[in-house]
Structure formats: C-alpha cells, structure tokens
Structure 1
Amino acid sequence: MGFEQQLIVLGLFLHYLIAMVETIGEAFSLGWQLRARCAYGNRDGMKSVRECTWNYDLDMLTLVATRGRDFPLSMVASRLRCPRCGSRRVTVVFMPPSTGDRRRGAA
C-alpha cells in the first residue's frame, strides 16, 4: 500500500472515529454493513474439535426492524448464536462505507 493510500485509510478511520456511531439505526443510516462469524475455536476443554467456519453478512434492515434504531452496536454480538454449531461466541465486524457510498437519511 502506497503512502497516499495509507493517508486515505487513516483519514477515513479518523472520520468514523469522530462520528461515534453507537446504534444500529445510525449505522444503517450511514450505510454500514455488519458481518458475523463464529468465534468458536478448535478446542473444547482438553479435546481438539473441528473449528467452525460459519460467517454471514447481517441484514441491517432486519436488525433495525427487530431490535429498534436505538439498539447499541456493542450489544449485537451478545444477541447472536452460530446456526451451525450453536456457539454463543460470535464476532461481529463493522464495515463503514467508502466515502462515496453513503446513504444519507435511509429509514
């Protein structure tokens, strides 16, 4: 990655850090995407088990409709369960849009 690209990435990071998006309603309005993946490792106590590789792009409209616009982003992962292995260890990745990809005023 070149120096100019690093500056762009840093600028985007600082922009979203300042924006302080805290709820799924704000994230939805700004066009963010959420991706969930199972974080269940390859160990179950002393046994070695096959690691779960489930991942999925969450539908923001469904999250807003079922949880409400004021639901905190920090609590989304605690409400999920892996459909493949049943583990409650689910990680959520928040992906802000690129600068030209914003959807202002959605829902």
Structure 2
Amino acid sequence: MVDSLGEAHDLGWTLWVACAHGNRDGLKSIRECRQRYRIDMSTLLWTRGRACPLARLEALMRCPRCGSRTVRVSFVPPSGRRHAG
C-alpha cells in the first residue's frame, strides 16, 4: 500500500486535484467551480516532504480559482504497471 507522497512519486504516480465546492454557498446559488489541475509532484515534494501522508493532502489544498478548501484529490498510477496495495 502506498501511504506517502515520496512513495507515490517514486512509483511514477500523477496527482490531479479538482474543486468540489458545488453550486451552493449557504442558501445562495453560485456558479459551480469546475477547476481541475494536474499537480507537479516534484514541487509538492519540495513543499510538503517525502513523508507527507497521501490521506492528508486534501486538507492541505485550496482551489486557486475560487478559494474553496473543498477539493477532490486523485492519484493515477502509470498505465501498464501494477502496484501492490
């Protein structure tokens, strides 16, 4: 099982983060933010460290477009390889 950012990087995983704020702000209807970004793993390693737990990344992210902390983090292993986990 892959638990840390360093392990995911070593295995060649790709990280995607998408805003999940939705179309409501309290009782108010707002335009849904649909931003999605591929995050550079090397930069993330420099800022968070190799030991950063993958489970903690969602809490550390914020959408640069709308500022929401409600995000979805997706790790995509390289195609063609099988990872134990």
TM-score if structure 1 supplies the norm length? Answer: 0.73
Q: State the Cα distance separating 1:74 from its structure 2 match.
A: 0.6
User: Which residue matches 1:5?
Assistant: none
User: Which residue matches 1:88?
Assistant: 69
- Note the aligned Cα RMSD (angstroms): 1.6
Distance 1:46 1:68 in 2: 39
How many pairs were matched up?
Answer: 83
User: Which residue matches 2:25?
Assistant: 44
Q: Secondary structure at the match of 2:3?
A: coil
Q: State the Cα distance separating 1:23 from its structure 2 match.
A: 0.2
Pair 1:60-2:41 in alignment: yes
Q: State the Cα distance separating 1:99 from its structure 2 match.
A: 2.7
Unaligned runs of 5+ residues in structure 2 are none
Distance 1:54 1:99 in 2: 28
Distance 1:51 1:79 in 2: 21
Deviations 1:47-85 (A, max 9, x none): 111000111000000111111111000111111111111
Pair 1:69-2:56 in alignment: no
Distance 2:15 2:53 in 1: 13
TM-score if structure 2 supplies the norm length? Answer: 0.91
Pair 1:33-2:14 in alignment: yes
Deviations 1:20-54 (A, max 9, x none): 00000000000000000100000111111100011
Distance 1:89 1:53 in 2: 12
Distance 2:71 2:53 in 1: 16
Unaligned runs of 5+ residues in structure 1 are 1-19, 101-107
Identical pairs, percent: 57
Larger Rg: 1
